[in-house]
């Protein structure tokens, strides 16, 4: 396959500058691990990636909405059936709120089952007198601030693969095996959420959904025959940052002969690695999964058009998602020229708002945090920019957890800076807790009704 005049293969990214790759102590070890991973079964199938692309084509056309959310980075240590179930519950709750509130299908994509690697602003961190490598996520090194823990270890890619496989297995069981059945809509509300204002609002909505189901039944519709009521499609995604891992999981589809990165249904390119001549753009130009690109405040309209041409030259709807993260105070100034350029070039993209990554502040006690109101302000600015340019505000991309953490401040519980230490659990960026996430869903549903 030809990409930008060169022959593409899963390893041809090596001829391009690859940012944010670890400094592996042993290249032989990396090659041995890559060989083992390449021999293992794929985690997803090409046909699934195509089905997601079709679902995203509906989002691009303004007929559906995308909810993409999960941890900033998954942990090898917080790995249990309960943790996976709680993440799924909050996703199902938010999707129910959005679907019911905006009467539109919601495409659900987790940052899950492979979100193990982080880009870093600096490759090293100073601890006392010592300079040690930065933490890059559990698929690369450990988070403890010692030289030993921070040494990149290629075997972690194998552990990441196995954890992704086990996570995906349970997710498939939950989403297809009854847990996501719409008749369970009350069950997804957790105890610590149920007593809050958004929890009560959710209970009322769940009761309305139940009434609607009973109404359909009373009309003679046999609900047992409607699979959409009993199962959900929940897709996986992660930042395709660690190219050794992505290359190893890239396989040729036997049906079409096309290459797919079978580590997840969707992969995205981060803000720090989206250089048009870089290895990440080259690699993802050649695989046929739906792909995303993060766009920060420095992205110009020309940069974005170039990415569209490289990643989706045939203008296939659903293939390309642009995830904008401009900052609450700049989104309304920076986004419209980009929306206009892409619209005029007739690129059928999915537009998604990441209101998290350009709105990080440091608390007085030195914690990284985000304010609920700033997150909402970026989402509102995103909707306003799309309204002005007559483009479809296709979705939101969030960092959240189903747990009762104290990482983002504000929200209806008015979480204050002084409470951040109580349950600050994230390995990387601060996440919305379950109550704050539900609150965001209700507010986004209102914004969608106003489009
Ligand atoms: C992320 O999504 O966790 C991330 C690092 O985002 P960005 O590339 O937009 O900074
Ligand atoms: Co993050």
For the stretch 30-61, pLDDT in tens is 999 999 999 999 999 999 999 999 999 999 99
What mean pLDDT is predicted for residues 180-209? 89
- Is 192 a residue whose pLDDT tops 90? no
Residue 444: its pLDDT value, please?
A: 97
Q: Determine the average pLDDT of the residues in 142-158.
A: 97
pLDDT score recorded for residue 369: 95
What ligand 1 atom has the least distance to the C-alpha of 272?
Answer: 8
Q: How many CA atoms lie less than 13 Å away from 97 in the CB half-sphere?
A: 28
Residue 282 CA to residue 225 CA, distance in Å, equals 45
Least confidently predicted of 227-231, 232-236, 357-361, 396-400: 227-231
If DSSP states are collapsed to H, E and C, what string results for 279-305?
HHHHHHHHCCCCEEEEECCCCCHHHHH
CB of 150 shorter than 6 A to ligand 1: no
On the question of pLDDT at 417 being above 80, the answer is: yes
Q: Are 321 and 66 in contact (CB under 8 A)?
A: yes
Share above pLDDT 90 across residues of the chain, in percent, rounded to a whole number: 86
Q: DSSP 3-state assignment of 37? A: helix
pLDDT of residue 350: 98
Q: What is the mean pLDDT of residues 231-236?
A: 95
pLDDT band per the 50, 70, 90 thresholds, residue 2: very low
- Determine the average pLDDT of the residues in 352-371: 95
Check pocket membership of 325 for ligand 1, CB cut-off 6 A: yes
Q: Residue 450's pLDDT band (boundaries 50, 70, 90)? A: confident
Cα 357 to ligand 2 centroid, rounded to whole Å = 6
Tokens of 132: 């040690």
| Cross-strand partners of 281 | none
Listed residue (304, 278, 312) closest to 56, CA to CA: 312
CA 211 to ligand 1 centroid distance, Å? 40
- Find the mean pLDDT for residues 343-350: 98
Alpha carbon of 271 to ligand 1 centroid (Å): 6
pLDDT band of 178, cuts 50, 70, 90: confident
At residue 186, the pLDDT reads 87
Ligand nearest to the CA of 355: 1
pLDDT in the model for residue 414: 87
Is the per-residue pLDDT at 16 higher than 60?
A: yes
Site to substitute for ligand 1 among 294, 324, 327, most atoms within 8 A of C-beta: 294
Per-residue pLDDT band at 402 (split at 50, 70, 90): confident
Mean pLDDT value across residues 105-124: 97
Distance (Å, whole) CA 164 – CA 434: 23
pLDDT at residue 441 is higher than 70:
yes
> Is the pLDDT assigned to residue 1 strictly greater than 80?
no
Q: Which of 2-16, 214-228, 415-429 has the lowest mean pLDDT?
A: 2-16
Q: Given ligand 1 and candidates 270, 356, 401, which is best to mutate, with the most ligand atoms within 8 Å of its CB? A: 270
* Distance of CA 371 from the midpoint of ligand 2 (Å): 15
- What's the pLDDT tens digit per position in 58-77? 999 999 999 999 999 999 99
Binding site membership of 42 for ligand 1 (Cβ less than 6 Å)? no
Contact 77, 424 (CB under 8 A): no
Ligand nearest to the CA of 358: 1
12 touches 6 (CB < 8 A): yes
Cα(41)–Cα(253) distance, rounded to whole angstroms? Answer: 13
| Ligand of minimum distance to the alpha carbon of 270 | 1
Taking the CA of 408 as reference, the closest ligand is 2
| CB distance 280 to ligand 1 below 6 Å | no
235 has pLDDT over 50: yes
Mean residue pLDDT across the chain: 95
Question: Is residue 328 within 8 Å of 355, Cβ to Cβ?
Answer: yes
The pLDDT assigned to 125 comes to: 95
- CA 69 to centroid of ligand 2, rounded, Å: 11
Check whether 335 has a pLDDT greater than 70: yes
């Amino acid at each position: 396959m030809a990409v930008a005049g060169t022959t593409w293969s899963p390893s041809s990214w090596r001829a391009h500058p690859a940012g944010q790759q670890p400094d592996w102590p042993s290249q032989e070890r990396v090659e041995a691990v890559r060989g083992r991973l390449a021999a293992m079964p794929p985690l997803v199938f090409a046909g699934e990636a195509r089905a997601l692309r079709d679902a995203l084509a509906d989002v691009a056309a303004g007929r559906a909405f995308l909810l993409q959310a999960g941890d900033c980075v998954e942990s090898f240590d917080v790995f249990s059936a309960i943790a996976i179930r709680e993440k799924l519950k909050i996703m199902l709750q938010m999707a129910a709120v959005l679907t019911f509130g905006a009467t539109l299908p919601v495409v659900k994509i987790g940052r899950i089952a492979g979100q193990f690697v982080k880009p870093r602003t600096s490759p090293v961190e100073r601890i006392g007198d010592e300079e040690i490598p930065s933490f890059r996520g559990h698929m690369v090194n450990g988070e403890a601030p010692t030289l030993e823990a921070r040494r990149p270890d290629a075997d972690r890619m194998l552990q990441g693969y196995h954890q992704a496989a086990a996570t995906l297995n349970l997710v498939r069981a939950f989403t297809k095996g009854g847990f996501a059945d719409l008749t369970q809509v009350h069950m997804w509300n957790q105890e610590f959420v149920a007593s809050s204002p958004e929890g009560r609002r959710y209970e009322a909505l769940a009761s309305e959904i139940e009434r609607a189901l009973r109404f359909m039944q009373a009309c003679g519709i046999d609900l047992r025959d409607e699979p959409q009521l009993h199962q959900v499609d929940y897709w996986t995604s992660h930042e395709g940052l660690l190219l050794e891992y992505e290359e190893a999981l890239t396989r040729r589809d036997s049906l079409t002969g096309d290459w797919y990165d079978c580590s997840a249904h969707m992969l995205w390119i981060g803000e720090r690695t989206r250089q048009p001549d870089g290895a990440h753009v080259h690699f993802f130009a050649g695989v046929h999964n739906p792909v995303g690109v993060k766009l920060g405040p420095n992205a110009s309209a020309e940069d974005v058009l170039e990415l569209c041409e490289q990643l989706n030259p045939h203008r296939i709807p659903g293939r390309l998602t642009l995830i904008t993260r401009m900052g609450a105070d700049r989104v309304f100034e920076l986004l419209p020229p980009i929306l206009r350029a892409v619209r005029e070039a007739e690129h059928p993209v999915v537009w998604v708002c990441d209101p998290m990554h350009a709105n990080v502040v440091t608390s007085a006690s030195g914690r990284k945090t985000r304010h609920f109101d700033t997150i909402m302000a970026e989402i509102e600015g995103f909707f306003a920019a799309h309204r002005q340019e007559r483009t479809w505000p296709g979705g939101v991309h969030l960092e959240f957890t189903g747990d009762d953490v104290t990482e983002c401040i504000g929200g209806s519980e008015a979480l204050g800076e002084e409470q951040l230490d109580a349950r600050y659990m994230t390995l990387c960026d601060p996440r919305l807790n379950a109550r704050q996430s539900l609150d965001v869903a209700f507010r986004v549903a209102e914004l969608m009704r106003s489009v």
